[in-house]
Structure 1
Amino acid sequence: MGFAFKYGCSLLCFISLLPAISYSQDYTYSRAAYYGSPDCLGTPTGACGFGEYGRTVNDANVAGVSRLYKNGTGCGGCYQVRCKAPNLCSDEGVNVVVTDYGEGDKTDFILSPRAYSRMARPNMALELLAYGVVDIEFWRTPCRYHGYNLMFKVHEHSRFPDYLAITLLYQAGQNEILAVELWQEDCKEWRGMRRAYGAVWDMPNPPKGGISLRIQVSGSAGVTWVQAANAIPSDWKAGIAYDSTIQLS
């Protein structure tokens, strides 16, 4: 199964001091702002390399993060974010997916306008947007993508058969991807891919034929390897996403 996505690469970046935070047993106190967007969705030019997927995934409830970006390891993580403005904020807050890097005024999150608005009580979104920056509390939550397995998207900058770059999409659970390796059949060994940036992994001169991958995942079960045999076909094409049949949880 394949989906084509459009890609761009730039950073959502707001210069600031590092956030001052305090911790409780269950959540973290911080601040959140939002970025300008004419359609209130995410941006296809995020630092995670998700492209169009990063604009609309999770109903466009997405965010750029600074400290939580962790050199790209934090890409694809999900968080519940709840604002603390008096009489304006709902009890539920909003669930967001990390798709970008962004710094603000002592913030941990730069939300899409849609996500920022959804922290508000009914009919209070305009008042909340007027704050610009708001106190929040947040905590990590599992990502859930009903009907989707983990997918490997072949990056548009890939050049068959000499250069392969992939992006991992629909990363469920509370997992972080630490490493990606390709099986080299003629050498009978796994070859490590390079994290180019964000969630994009690449390799010059990839193995010929169907490509099997394994990914190192850090999650609730600790650090484990998950294997996807023949995850990418021998005639792979740039811009296409291939179903791994893997369900992370």
Structure 2
Amino acid sequence: MAVALLPAITYSQDYTYSRATYYGSPDCLGTPTGACGYGQYGRTVNDANVAGVSRLYKNGSGCGGCYQVRCKAPKLCTDDGVNVVVTDYGEGDKTDFILSTRAYARMARPYMALELFAYGVVDIEFRRIPCRYPYNLLVKVHENSKFGVYLAITFLYQAGQSEILAVQVWQEDCKEWRDMRRAFGAVWDLPNPPKGDITLRFQARGSAGITWVLAGDVIPSDWKVGVAYDSGVQLV
């Protein structure tokens, strides 16, 4: 993806004016190699209405955020546009969003998608909206993890308008919290993880401000790489 200077931000009520383009994929879905580190989740979450972003990426804390994006070509575009989930980083031609093919097409009026694709880049307005899922927040053991030696995790189905700013693991033998490192995107890691069930707490910024959320014994002692575990909590 080409790197370009970004336009100045202007506002219309709670919308921000910008530009959007799209990336091609054989199946119109997202990519499993997105910068957020979501893997297959990043391909299909939200019915594959996903996007890469530039300034909204926020060094990874913007991963999982939801936005309403609507294009400014009245004859081609619907009034509501499309709601997307951030799963990747990308910069285009003065754009804030690089949409999946499916998401880009869903901004168009019926039978107008091909004409919209012909634009390549379109003027848009966008706003942050709450993510809503019928699931609790899940903690997935990332594929880079090695049992007993190295633990990497990412959070899936992050609801509300929240951003996860920090993650800690409870070290029972030392009776203290250990900081996890943001490895990249939405992936947090820790060498030599504690034995036994693993309790996490994470600092989230959302509608209630900045708070710490506890997820007790969320990762079992016999955790498996690639498995997502129910945290029992959800963000707002």
TM-score normalised by length of structure 1: 0.93
Q: CA deviation at 1:176?
A: 0.2
Distance 1:21 1:116 in 2: 21
Q: What secondary structure, in the 3-state scheme, does the structure 2 residue paired with 1:237 have? A: coil
Question: One-letter code of the match for 2:57?
Answer: Y
- Structure 1, 205-214 or 19-28: larger mean CA deviation: 19-28
Deviation at 1:246, TM superposition (A): 0.7
1:116-136 Cα deviation digits (max 9, x unpaired) = 000011111111111000000
Q: Write the distance in 2 (CA, Å) between the matches of 1:103 and 1:52.
A: 22
5 Å-filtered alignment, 1:19-168, equals 19-146=7-134, 148-168=135-155
Shift of 1:215: 0.7
User: Match for residue 236 of structure 1?
Assistant: 223
| Map of 2:178 onto structure 1 | 191
1:160 match: secondary structure: coil
Using the TM superposition, give the Cα deviation of residue 36 of structure 1 relative to its aligned residue in structure 2, in angstroms: 1.1
Letter in 1 for 2:171: Q
Preserved contact between residue 20 and residue 106 of structure 1 (Cα < 8 Å):
no
For 1:84 and 1:197, the matched residues in 2 are separated by 34
User: How far off its partner does 1:95 sit?
Assistant: 0.1
Deviations 1:149-172 (A, max 9, x none): 101100111001010000110000
Deviation at 1:79, TM superposition (A): 0.1
Distance 1:29 1:79 in 2: 13
Length, aligned pairs only: 236
**Runs of at least 5 residues in structure 1 that lack an aligned partner in the other structure:** 1-12
CA RMSD of the aligned region, Å?
A: 0.8
Q: 1:203 aligns with which of 187, 190, 194?
A: 190
Mean CA deviation greater in 236-245 or 132-141: 236-245
SS in 2 for 1:157: coil
2:170 partner letter: W
Runs (4+) off by over 6 Å: none
Please, which runs of 5 or more residues in structure 2 have no aligned partner?
A: none
Distance in 2 (alpha carbons) for counterparts of 1:79 and 1:63: 9
TM-score (norm 2): 0.98
Percent identity for Structure 1 against Structure 2? 80
